[in-house]
């Protein structure tokens, strides 16, 4: 071996830096630690040396170590805890990171940090098999034929009036949302809209979230340095009595189909929540209606916004889930007091979506393709949903099965006192990836029974059957 | 007259609300005040009644007045000064707002708040006449032919690796920027990238800006609640001696062709600036290289980033100016310490640009179309630039002419003690719109001579000649 070999006595790290390897120093440090985690030499929860310590120890710059740690954090191997340092993550927690890190191609069939897995019940993935590529191309072509300098100019800050009118009509018809096109802001994805909303709400906002919740929204509020209160849920959703005990002014909720619990909030709880919001000036509810398009049982409940008569609800939705992730178009419906603030404080922010993309989407909806596609996908997802529910019939004695009215995933709650790690580990060993609820809990709660999340959006019917058969062997 | 008539004794406002008019109350209030400003009944600098007062007075809700004021602020008729209230803007200041407000169509040929004007020397506008629409369409078509679910999936957070590699090569070749593709973040416009940069730099950053400066960047820093120090400039650009007297950690600068002064920062001043940044941990320079593609005289100076050996420069550029405003693709090159922070704190933010759009742009550059288009536009803009300079020859006794090395506008500094208002007013009356420097000064400076900005990007050669001829009549 060449280069300097370093053994850290206090830590199970023995690192070799090889200057002649062609890899940069930070890539070597990154690769070494990643490997230690993958092979189990560094275990979940273990603390890493501070970046400063490691830099001095290895005689490299602080930035080099920061880069390596940063890469590992962004890929989900490490987590940074403020004022505490870096810790090895639960590797199953990686589901929240949807993409391989830049520059690092994922080998086909092999997921990051895991042995080969053939059945991935991801709750994030969607089925693109039936996407009408030809229609999309045709619309694009037609639009470009007539395109002129107007189409290539910068559009209105809030989004093109035509598309806002179309979205307004769609939301009213399908979700009961009451709004005018002028209340709609179109933006390049929900993450961007939440950043913009921060600028509208201001710097000092205390946010409440359901626990468990959508991890990225939590991360965004964290990166906005908002204090976040995590509110427990019961079978009807967020507990408004607990919400009342916090200082929160804004609550981020998913009433139609909570992610990841799958709970649909009944009307009584909705009214309680709206009452809370109306009680004090400046309280708002952010309704993330991320997958309301897919509902399989009973009459779809309208949005929370539809029941709001006081202008306390900010409604957010996206076309990424219902059409394709590449469609970077989301929308936010602002109540008038916030719309006024938007215009005063943020009206100058340029639109983040090109006019061309807005025009394509508008035609896709206006010409009826969106509705047809939604109906087709609803049927597809319902078939998979029913199939999965059917295949899970033998599981009912060992698990409670819930969240089955809507969305693209189900929840299995263990009745036999086993742990999520244990169950997910057994599945893993059998070649099946399931997702653990604890990775969506942003705070430890009282000892809860193990809950596993099974998404079926992207799996074929065959894969669903085969995957469940494997789970049956190891879990029942 | 029907409805209630209201006269405000202290203010020159006599407002009628007509409930039966079909217009909402807020539209009526908006329309009334706008008209008062347009017709000169409300004059620049006049303070409006507080929203609360007006709401009580008119017996409408506070939100209704907020909406009306918000609309007027977003269209540039009013400005909101923190803790002071609403004031009538200088209507010529409207140039910074590029689009009509949502839902309000601009009548053709008539600009907002102004009588008909035939010659608009806007420094923002660009010439789209030579844009290769056919090529763009062809590339789009070809890409969509091969498009599959991969193209419609969510891309890498930082932007597609291929496009980042292409941009990296382009920036190195044309601007001397030293970076790796992994340092590049692609985002939907500069505004978005500045929001993301805020999340990387953190909440408590003191920013320094050149004065005068790019108004939207100033507004964005304001909306981030950053304290902003405005630094005076001399003929070599930002005065580093003055910068040193502030608490600023970050300075936002445009070294290649300062907007709007047109100053190109010489190498000596650049070195001073880099020295300032290197002196203390955590200091950064944000280099906005917004129109560096267009340079007409002498060897183009490389970017400031090219001279930075300490990793203190964040380089920002955009394709909106060089290709088309509709191309919502900008890029930011992060030095490694900030890249590490980005990955740790912001790596989860989804990309705001679709893979399809990134792929189209990548082909446009890779296949040489971008270079060809740039060369063509450089020639066009140089022709207009030379023509304008030539036409302005008779102006030399009355004005100093500067900013003529690069970019898309010139500066005329009055030698005869006239005011900007006076000169712009005379031009206005003759049907020519020129832009006043004071609207780009974010803080009053010592009595400066009047400076007028003449942009020529979007005007035809004929229009330039005719416009200057009209100016000659009123100014000389």
pLDDT exceeds 90 at position A300: no
CB-closest option in B225, B325, B352 to A352: B352
Q: What is the pLDDT of residues A126-181, one digit of tens each?
A: 888 888 888 988 898 888 877 767 777 778 899 999 999 999 999 998 899 999 99
| pLDDT of the residue at B234 | 93
Q: Which of A96, A147, A343 sits opposite B133 (nearest CB)?
A: A147
Interior angle at CA A52, CA A46 and CA A55, nearest 5:
95
Residue B448 to residues A264, B260, B437: CA-CA distances in angstroms? 64, 15, 10
Closest chain B CA to residue A99: B156
Q: What pLDDT, on the 0 to 100 scale, is given for residue B102?
A: 34
- pLDDT tens-digit series, residues B346-355: 989 999 998 8
Q: Does residue A59 or residue A100 have the better pLDDT?
A: A59
More confident residue, A262 or A229: A229
Range name among A1-10, A110-119, B39-48 with the lowest pLDDT average: A1-10
Measure B449 CA to nearest chain A CA, in Å: 29
Q: Which two tokens stand for residue B161?
A: 């690796």
pLDDT attached to residue A58:
82
**Nearest-angstrom CA–CA distance, A89 and A80:** 9
Nearest by CB to B181, which of A103, A131, A348? A103
Judged by CB atoms closer than 8 Å, whether chains meet at A74 and B133 is answered as: no
The CA angle B343-B284-B261, to the nearest 5 degrees, is 125
A186 Cα to chain B: minimum distance (Å): 12
Contact B176, B306 (CB under 8 A): yes
| Interchain contact, B99 vs A136, CB within 8 Å | no
Specify the pLDDT at position B311. Answer: 95
What pLDDT does residue B100 have?
32
Q: CB distance A311–B63 less than 8 Å? A: yes
pLDDT in the model for residue B376? 87
Report the Cα–Cα distance between both ends of chain A, in Å, rounded.
49
pLDDT at A1: 32
Q: Identify the band that residue B97 occupies on the pLDDT scale cut at 50, 70 and 90.
A: very low
Measure CB to CB from residue A98 to each of B151, B154, B196 and give the nearest one. Answer: B154
Q: What's the sign of the alpha-carbon dihedral B44, B47, B51, B54?
A: negative
* Angle between helices A369-391 and A355-366 in degrees, nearest 10: 70
pLDDT of A5 strictly over 80: no
> Is a pLDDT exceeding 50 seen at residue A236?
yes
Q: Of B129, B154, B224, which to mutate for an interface test with A (greatest number of A Cβ within 10 Å)?
A: B154
Chain A residues in contact with B326 by the CB 8 A cut-off are: 151-155, 354-356
CA distance, residue A350 to nearest chain B CA (Å): 7
Crossing angle (nearest 10°) for helices B369-391 and B461-475: 30
* pLDDT computed for residue B471 by the predictor: 97
d(CA B272, CA A353): 39
Q: What is the DSSP letter of B406?
A: B
Sheet holding A399-402, edge to edge: A399-402, A409-414, A451-455, A435-436
Confidence of residue B419 (pLDDT cuts 50, 70, 90): very high
Asked if residue B17 has pLDDT above 80, the reply is no
Nearest chain A Cα distance for residue B384, angstroms:
20
Q: Do residues A250 and B372 lie in contact, with contact meaning Cβ atoms separated by under 8 Å?
A: no
B378-390 confidence digits (pLDDT tens): 888 989 999 999 9
Measure Cα distances from A41 to A26, A36, A73, A429, B68 in Å. 20, 5, 18, 19, 63
Is residue B143 very low, low, confident or very high in pLDDT (cuts 50, 70, 90)?
Answer: confident
Q: What is the mean pLDDT of residues B5-32?
A: 65
In which band, very low, low, confident or very high, does the pLDDT at A13 lie, cut at 50, 70 and 90?
low
Are B316 and B190 a contacting pair, CB within 8 Å? yes
Q: Which residues of B touch A60 (CB under 8 A)?
A: none
Closest Cα in chain B, distance from residue A397 (Å): 38
A357-407 residue pLDDT tens: 999 999 999 999 998 888 888 888 989 999 999 999 999 999 999 987 777
**What pLDDT score does B219 carry?**
93
Q: Which residue has the higher pLDDT, A438 or A7?
A: A438
Counts of helices then strands in chain B (DSSP H, E): 14, 19
Contacts of B97 in chain A (CB under 8 A): 348
Q: What is the DSSP string of A416-472?
A: S---HHHHHHHHHHTTEE-EEGGGG-SS--S----EEEEE-TTS-HHHHHHHHHHHH
Give CA–CA dist A318/A324, Å, rounded. Answer: 10
Answer for the pair A159, A184: CB distance below 8 angstroms, yes or no. Answer: yes
B330, containing H or E segment: strand B330-333
Q: d(Cα B423, Cα B444) in Å, to the nearest integer?
A: 19
Question: CB–CB of B365/B139 below 8 Å?
Answer: no
Nearest chain A alpha carbon to B185: A102
- The CA distance from B214 to B258, in Å, is 9
Cβ distance of A341 and B70 shorter than 8 Å: yes
**CA distance linking residue A110 with residue A120, whole number of Å:** 11
Task: Check CB contact under 8 Å for A153 and B356.
Answer: no
Is the pLDDT assigned to residue A70 strictly greater than 70?
Answer: yes
Q: Name every chain B residue with its beta carbon within 8 A of the beta carbon of A100.
A: 156
Predicted pLDDT at A197: 97
Three-state DSSP at A415 gives coil
pLDDT (mean) for B224-251: 95
What pLDDT is recorded for position A14? Answer: 60
Q: What is the pLDDT of residue A299?
A: 62
Tell me if residue B239 falls in helix, strand or coil.
Answer: coil
**Would you tell me how many other CB atoms lie within 10 Å of the CB of residue A284?**
23
DSSP conformation letters of A317-368:
EESTTTT-TT---EEEEPPHHHHHHHHHHTTTSPPSS-HHHHHHHHHHHHTT
- Compare CB distances from B140 to A98, A144, A192 and report the shortest one's residue: A144
Confidence of residue B300 (pLDDT cuts 50, 70, 90): low
Structure confidence at residue B404 as a pLDDT band (50, 70, 90): confident
pLDDT higher than 80, residue A54: yes
For A154, the closest of B103, B325, B353 (CB atoms) is: B325
pLDDT bucket at A117, cuts 50 / 70 / 90: low
Whether B92 shows a pLDDT value over 70: the answer reads no
Mutate to test the interface with A, among B147, B157, B328 (most CBs of A within 10 A): B328
Torsion of CA A399, A403, A405, A410, to 10 degrees: -70
Interface contacts A/B by beta carbons within 8 Å:
243
Q: Which helix (H) or strand (E) holds B209?
A: strand B207-210
Q: How far is B407 from chain A (nearest CA, A)?
A: 19
Q: b or e along A343-375 (b: 16 or more beta carbons within 10 Å of the residue's beta carbon)?
A: bbbbbbbbbbbbbbbbbbbbbbbeeebbeebee
Give me the pLDDT at residue A142, please: 87
What is the torsional sign of CA A128, A134, A138, A140? positive
The verdict on a CB contact (< 8 Å) between A328 and B351 is yes
pLDDT band at B133 (very low <50, low <70, confident <90, very high): confident
Contacting residues of A for B349, CB less than 8 Å apart: 191, 220
Contact check, Cβ <8 Å, A340/B66: yes
Measured in degrees and rounded to the nearest 5, phi and psi for residue A410 equal -120, 160
B133-146 vs A133-146: helix crossing angle, rounded to 10: 180
Question: A436 pLDDT band (50/70/90 cuts)?
Answer: very high
Q: Residue B444 contacts by C-beta under 8 Å, 6 or more apart in sequence?
A: none
Q: How confident is the model at residue B117 (pLDDT cuts 50, 70, 90)?
A: low
pLDDT higher than 70, residue A193: yes
Closest CA–CA distance from residue A144 to any residue of chain B (Å): 6
Cis peptide before A43 (omega within 30 of 0): no
Does residue A230 have a pLDDT over 90? Answer: yes
Beta strand A119-120 with A432-433 is: parallel
Q: Give the pLDDT band of residue B106 (cuts 50, 70, 90).
A: very low
SS3 state at B458: coil
ipTM of the complex, rounded to two decimals: 0.75
Burial level of A80, CB count in 10 A (0-12/13-18/19+)?
middle
Cross-chain residue pair B188–A71, CB shorter than 8 Å:
no
Residue B132: predicted pLDDT:
87
Preferred mutation among B96, B102, B164 to probe A, highest tally of A CBs within 10 A:
B102
Average pLDDT in chain B = 85
Q: What is the pLDDT of residue A468?
A: 97
Both structure tokens of B51: 């929203």
Question: Which chain A residues are within 8 Å of B344, Cβ to Cβ?
Answer: 66, 69-70, 73-74, 80
Chain B residue with the nearest C-alpha to that of A104: B161
Q: What is the pLDDT of residue B59?
A: 82
């Amino acid at each position: 071996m060449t280069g300097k070999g370093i053994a850290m006595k206090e830590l199970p790290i023995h690192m070799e830096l090889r200057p002649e390897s062609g890899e940069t120093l930070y890539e070597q440090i990154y690769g070494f630690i990643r490997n230690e985690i993958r092979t189990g030499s560094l275990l979940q929860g273990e603390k890493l040396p501070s970046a400063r310590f490691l830099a001095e120890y290895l005689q490299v710059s602080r930035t080099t170590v920061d880069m390596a740690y940063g890469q590992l954090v962004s890929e989900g191997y490490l987590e940074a805890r403020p004022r505490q340092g870096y810790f090895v993550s639960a590797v199953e927690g990686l589901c929240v990171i949807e993409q391989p890190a830049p520059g690092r191609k994922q080998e086909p069939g092999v997921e990051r940090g895991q042995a080969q897995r053939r059945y991935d019940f991801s709750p994030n993935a969607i089925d693109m098999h039936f996407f009408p590529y030809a229609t999309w191309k045709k619309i694009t072509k037609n639009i470009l034929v007539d395109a002129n300098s107007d189409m290539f100019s910068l559009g209105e800050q809030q989004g093109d009036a035509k598309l806002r009118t179309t979205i307004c009509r769609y939301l009213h018809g399908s979700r009961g949302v009451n709004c005018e096109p002028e209340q709609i802001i179109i933006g390049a994805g929900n993450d961007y809209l939440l950043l913009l909303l921060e600028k509208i709400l201001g710097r000092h906002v205390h946010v409440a979230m359901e626990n468990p919740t959508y991890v990225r929204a939590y991360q965004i509020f964290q990166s906005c340095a908002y204090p976040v209160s995590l509110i427990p849920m019961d079978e009807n959703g967020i507990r408004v009595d607990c919400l009342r005990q916090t200082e929160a002014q804004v609550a981020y909720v998913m009433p139609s189909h909570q992610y990841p619990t799958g709970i649909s909030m009944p009307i009584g709880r909705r009214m309680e929540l709206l009452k809370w919001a109306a009680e004090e000036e400046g309280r708002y509810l952010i309704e993330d209606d991320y997958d309301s398009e897919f509902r399989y049982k009973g009459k779809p409940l309208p949005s929370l916004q539809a029941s709001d008569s006081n202008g306390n609800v900010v409604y957010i939705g996206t076309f990424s889930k219902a059409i394709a992730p590449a469609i970077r178009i989301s929308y936010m419906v602002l109540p008038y007091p916030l719309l006024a603030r938007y215009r005063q404080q943020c009206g100058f922010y340029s639109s983040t979506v090109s006019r061309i993309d807005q025009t394509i989407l508008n035609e896709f909806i206006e010409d009826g393709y969106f509705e047809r596609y939604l109906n087709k996908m609803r049927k597809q997802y319902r078939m998979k949903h029913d199939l999965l529910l059917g295949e899970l019939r033998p599981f009912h004695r060992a698990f409670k099965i819930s969240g089955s009215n809507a969305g693209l995933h189900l929840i299995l709650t263990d009745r036999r006192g086993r742990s999520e790690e244990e169950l997910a580990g057994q599945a893993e060993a059998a070649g099946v990836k399931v997702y653990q609820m604890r990775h969506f809990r942003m705070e430890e709660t009282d000892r809860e029974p193990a809950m596993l999340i099974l998404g079926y959006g992207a799996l074929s019917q065959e894969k669903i059957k085969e995957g469940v058969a494997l789970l049956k062997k190891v879990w029942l």
